Each structure stands twice: as structure tokens, then as C-alpha cells.
Amino acid sequence: MIAGQDHHRGFRPRSGEPRAERACHASALGAKPCGTMARAETETELNHWADVAAERTLAAHPGLTRITVAAGITPSGVVHIGNFREVITVDLVARALADRGVDVRFLYSWDDFDVFRSVPADAPKADALRGELGRSISSVPDPWGEHDSYATHHIAAFEASIGPLGIRPEFIRQSRAYRAGRYAEGMRAALQKADVIVRIINTSREKNGARSMLPADWLPLAGFCDACGYDDVGFRYDGDWTVHVTCNRCQHEGDTDLRRGGNLKLPWRVDWPMRWGYEKVCFEPGGKDHSSAGGSYDTAQHIVREVYGWSAPQYVGYDFVSLKGAGGKISSSRGGVVTVADCLEVYEPAVLRWLFAGYRPNTEFQISFDADAIKIYEDYDRAVRLAHEPDDGTAKDAKRRAARRTLQLASVDHRKIEPGTPPPEPIGFRHLGVVVQIFGGDIDRVMSHLVERKMVAGALAEAACRQRAVCAWNWITEHAPEEFHYRLREDPVAKPLPPEVAPLLARLVAIIEDVPDGDEDGLGARMKTLAAEGADLKLLYPVVYDLLIARDKGPKLTSLLATIGRTRALALLKASLVPTVTQA
């Protein structure tokens, strides 16, 4: 859930039991029969922060055969990459738990019974939306006209975007659960123990020097009018299953039987612990904005114990993800947010996962779409290479193991890299960015070009390369700084050539005609000969680049020529040669 926090010292309910029980769990893995070996391996290989959280969760629930982990977000606006940290954090811990032989249930609660409180800057039909303020986001019409509600619009977009990342939680929509009466018992418990809840919250407020207290007759209820749908309602509770609701807006009155469900819910601070108890949640992370004393996690952990007889879940706190350049917290109400789908345009799913898996959750980091994209891909490729190296008993083994574990958690299919196996040889993002431009973004041609030259082999590698090529093209067209842009001239231009350059260009043309199409090495050898004969290629290069790509510099010439092919290259180069056609 979006709240909760840990920050490792603050709220941890009971610390002090770890050792014995951790050992117990590690060796109770079952799958690994040989005692000490299994443990040693566990401790060195399952060493990611998600593993630590998993161990802690197991230690807190000894004997439980099924562990429930949960995430939750309010779709009150575009669900962005910052919200994604919640989900990926749970996903990673879920995997770490599954690796320990536990049956894991991954719940994802959409808090779509929330009140529509502000109109996002980027929403269409703002005027109409303003009139909906105060209703449930699950009741507000979709201003984009695509879904049955405002909430569903954002939910659908996000659910679709995490599919490619291999994240498949069990989604729950709070609006439906409440309306169906599923939480009736939990609501009644909260209402009957309203005094306990008031005490907990007020005690917390006192401790924090709050300026106001909940009144003694406060009811832990929120909801919407059955007639008009707005949240300006009052409640009267009969002590059992019935709540009398009065609307201050349309004057509608009526009784709601909690068992039948309806438009009533618990306020956030109570809703959260109620669901912990209802779903038996063992782990749920929280954003740093909910970490403080007196915050919702703080009171929720008391409420869940005293009202619902369950203990607060284990958690890790995560910091914000910000957009490089934009600075600060990503806010869905400000518009211009970055979504998971946006990120997947530029980053392969595994790379995106790797980014989140690599940072400790409690550190803030920036997601970037500028030249950093190249660095990130290069770092990723390097990590993959490192992970494939066999261990050799040196200190570097620790890094190899860490890389393997992080990459396994980052992979979409949870594939483990076996040390000593040959690493894949992906084409670098930077290079791909050049290639893809040479073909004007025609990915099919990029692929056949690469396959013909045996730079990519095998169906898997091809699929991976194609995906990366698409990302590279998206990056080039949408984000890359100007210096990365290359564009092959469509039509040849005839440029006046300095007298000393013309013969050189003629020689180059001759070489191209002579060497088999696409034979980069052959070209290279002939160029070398040319230089050895005393030709000053430094004079030639700028001219050639200009004729080809309208710049004075460019990718390594032999690669460029080999890539664009003889026909196109000759057409572009010969145009300037006409007056001085010498011998080839």
C-alpha cells in the first residue's frame, strides 16, 4: 500500500527474533537437501534486498504455508512510474519468497472507492470533471470516453503496462468489494470498536502535538449518497449491521445493511488495517511519504492488532522516483507524468526491472531519457556479462553472485544465469541507435541486415534485438539529443570538391564498387591500403560524411558504408564526382 514505512528502525514491530528463525527457514527450504551446503548457498546467492525482506517476512510468520504480499494504489490520476515502485517492490519480494519454496499470493488493491478530489491538469473536459468532485472516482465518467469510469481508465492503462514486465498480481477493486458487502464483518468490527480506534488515533495525535482530536462519537465511516453519489453524507449506526445515511446535498435518506454492501466504506486509516486482517497480509511496502509517527502505518499497526487480531505486515520503505530534469516528486495531479508505458518505449522490460531492482528501495533515483539511456543499457549489458563469468575464488565472486541474483530478479521470466555459460552478445544500444537511423526506423530491414551479417543469431536473440531496436528508434525519435541524430540523405547532392579531394573520392568509389556489397572488413583493408599509399584520408572523411549524412563526422565509415549498402552509397557519392570522373 502506499503507506507504511519502515525505514528499518522506526516502526518495526518486534525486532530481535531474527537469527534463530531465519536459520530455521533457510534450512527448511526443502528443495535443497544437503544441510549446510544449502544454507551457505542461500546466504551467498539469495542476497538481494528483496531476499532480506523475504527472510524477515518468513521469520514473522513461522509455520504459514501461504504468504500474502500486497500492493495498493489509488487511481485518482495517471498511475505513474513512481507508483510503479510499489508494485515492483512487492513483485521482487514475492519472487524472493517463492524462491524459498513458499506459496505466495500477490494482491493488488485498487483503491478506486476513493473520492475524486481534484481535477488533474492534463485531463480533458475539465469543466465537466469539476462537477464530479466529491463523488467516487469509480463513479466519475471517463472523460476520455474509453472506459466505464475515470478510475477504470487509469487502472486499465496501468494493468496493461505491467504485463510485459511479467508482473501478474491478483487485482482487487475496492469499489466492487465494498459495494458487494465483502468487508461487512470488518466494517462492523470497526464500528463496534470505534472507541478503540478513536483512542489509538487520538493517542497518536497527542504524542505528535496535534492541534485537534477526534470526538468521542466519531464513526469510522465514509461513503457516498445512494441517490446523488456525492460524499457529503452523515451517518447513524445502530450498533449491529445497519447504518442510516443522510445526504446533506440532496436530502436523500436511507438505511444500508453492511452485509448487503452499498456505498459505504471505511476511512483510509481504518480501511488499511481492516484489509490487512481480511487478506492476512504479511508484507506490504510503503512510500516514504507515509513513514512518520502518527502516519497511517503508525496507527494502522495498532488498529490491526486491537481490532482485527492480526499483526502489521513487514514492509520496506521506498523513496520516490523522479524524472531527470523535471526534479522532485512525480505528481499525477500536475500532469506531464511518466508512466510505465512511457518507460517501456525506451527501456526493455528487463532493463526497467533491473533499474528498480538495483537501487535500494529507500534511495531516491531519477529515471532519465537523455543520453543516460545509453549508459544504462551499457551498464546492464556489462552486468549480464559479469553474471555469466564463472566464479574463480577471488573477491570478484561476490559481485558476480550479486549480479546474477539481481539479474534473475530483474528478468521477466525469473531465469537464472548459470556461471560459465556463454553470455548473450547483444548489440549495444548506441550502435543500434545508429543502425536504426540508417534504415529510417524500418525495424524489419534493420533485423534482416543484422541477421545477414550474423550479428544476431537465433530466434531468441533476434526477438531480443528487435525489441531493443524498437526502443532505440523510439529513443532516437523522441528523446535523444541532437548529437545522436543521423539521417542518410534521401537525394544525392553535388558538392564542389577541393582539387585534392576529388581523386580520393574517386578512389573510394572504385573501392566500393570493387568490394563485395556489405563486406566491411574488405572495405577496411582497402582503405588501409589507400592510406598506406599516402592518401590523406583526413581530407576525405568530412566530405564523405557530408555527402552521405550531411554532417562532417559520423559513424565509422566502413561500418556506415557496409550498412547502407553499395547502391545507396554510390548514388550519394558519385553525384559530386561527375565532372572529374577519373579512372576507377
212 or 567: CB nearest RNA:
212
Residue 414, interface with RNA (CB under 7 A)? no
Reported as type and span, the H/E element at residue 162 is helix 150-162
Q: Binders of RNA among 145-174, rule CB under 7 A?
A: 174
CA distances, 558 to each of 161, 220, 449, 520, 561 (Å): 40, 73, 15, 6, 5
CA dihedral (352, 357, 362, 366) in degrees, to 10, reads -20
Closest CA to 77 of 120, 21, 132: 120
Stretch that binds RNA, among 149-157, 247-255, 443-451, 541-549 (CB under 7 A): 541-549
Tell whether the torsion through CA atoms of 471, 378, 428 and 524 is positive or negative: positive
Q: Binders of RNA among 381-410, rule CB under 7 A?
A: 382
Reported as type and span, the H/E element at residue 505 is helix 502-514
Among 16, 63, 65, 212, binds RNA (CB under 7 A): 212
Among 32, 39, 147, 288, binds RNA (CB under 7 A): 288
Residue 186, interface with RNA (CB under 7 A)? no
166 or 489: CB nearest RNA:
489
123 or 330: CB nearest RNA:
330
Among 22, 147, 416, 431, binds RNA (CB under 7 A): 431
Q: Binders of RNA among 227-246, rule CB under 7 A?
A: none
Residue 74, interface with RNA (CB under 7 A)? yes
User: Minimum CB separation from RNA for residue 178, in Å?
Assistant: 11
104 or 558: CB nearest RNA:
558
188 or 290: CB nearest RNA:
290
C-alpha cell at 437: 537511423
CA distances, 189 to each of 16, 17, 192, 304 (Å): 32, 31, 5, 11
Residue 500, interface with RNA (CB under 7 A)? no
User: Minimum CB separation from RNA for residue 321, in Å?
Assistant: 10
| Beta bridge mates, 233 | 247
Stretch that binds RNA, among 98-106, 126-134, 464-472, 551-559 (CB under 7 A): 551-559
Stretch that binds RNA, among 27-35, 54-62, 213-221, 495-503 (CB under 7 A): 213-221
Among 134, 424, 524, 565, binds RNA (CB under 7 A): 524
User: Minimum CB separation from RNA for residue 413, in Å?
Assistant: 26
261 or 554: CB nearest RNA:
554
Residue 248, interface with RNA (CB under 7 A)? no
> HEC states along 546-565?
HHHHCCCCCCCHHHHHHHHC
Residue 532, interface with RNA (CB under 7 A)? yes
104 φ, ψ to 5°? Answer: -110, 135
Residue 296, interface with RNA (CB under 7 A)? yes
| Beta bridge mates, 67 | 104
Q: Give exposure, 56-75, as e/b (b: 16+ Cβ within 10 Å).
A: bbbbbbeeeeebbbbbbbbb
158 or 486: CB nearest RNA:
486
Burial class (CB in 10 A: 0-12, 13-18, 19+), 149: buried
115 or 323: CB nearest RNA:
115
At a CB cut-off of 8 Å and minimum separation 6, what does 104 contact? 66, 67, 68, 69, 94, 97, 98
User: Minimum CB separation from RNA for residue 328, in Å?
Assistant: 6
Residue 134, interface with RNA (CB under 7 A)? no
Q: Using CB under 7 A, count the residues that bind RNA.
A: 78
Among 555, 562, 573, 577, binds RNA (CB under 7 A): 555
Residue 141, interface with RNA (CB under 7 A)? no
Sole residue written with cell 549498402: 565
Q: Binders of RNA among 81-120, rule CB under 7 A?
A: 111, 114-115, 117
Among 258, 544, 547, 569, binds RNA (CB under 7 A): 544
Number of C-beta neighbours around residue 552 at 10 A: 11
At a CB cut-off of 8 Å and minimum separation 6, what does 404 contact? 45, 387, 416, 417, 419
- Provide DSSP, 173-218: EHHHHHHTTTTHHHHHHHHHTHHHHHHHHHHHHHHTT-S----TT-
User: Minimum CB separation from RNA for residue 315, in Å?
Assistant: 12
Q: Give exposure, 514-535, as e/b (b: 16+ Cβ within 10 Å).
A: ebeebbbebbbebbeebeeeeb
Among 280, 329, 445, 489, binds RNA (CB under 7 A): 329
Among 364, 391, 514, 517, binds RNA (CB under 7 A): 364
Q: List alpha helices for 99-142, DSSP H.
A: 126-130
CA–CA separation, 352 vs 549, rounded Å?
A: 33
Closest CA to 305 of 293, 297, 317, 316: 297
Q: Check residue 230 and report its DSSP letter.
A: B
User: Minimum CB separation from RNA for residue 64, in Å?
Assistant: 23
Residue 143, interface with RNA (CB under 7 A)? no
Residue 182, interface with RNA (CB under 7 A)? no
User: Minimum CB separation from RNA for residue 291, in Å?
Assistant: 4
Q: Binders of RNA among 13-72, rule CB under 7 A?
A: none
CA–CA separation, 55 vs 530, rounded Å?
A: 65
Q: Binders of RNA among 258-287, rule CB under 7 A?
A: 267-269, 271
Q: Binders of RNA among 332-361, rule CB under 7 A?
A: 359-360
Q: Check residue 285 and report its DSSP letter.
A: -
Among 332, 558, 563, 576, binds RNA (CB under 7 A): 558
Among 22, 176, 205, 489, binds RNA (CB under 7 A): 205
Identity (one letter) of the amino acid at 157? A
At a CB cut-off of 8 Å and minimum separation 6, what does 476 contact? 433, 436, 437, 441, 484, 485
User: Minimum CB separation from RNA for residue 541, in Å?
Assistant: 1
Among 16, 63, 145, 209, binds RNA (CB under 7 A): 209
Q: Binders of RNA among 479-498, rule CB under 7 A?
A: 483, 486
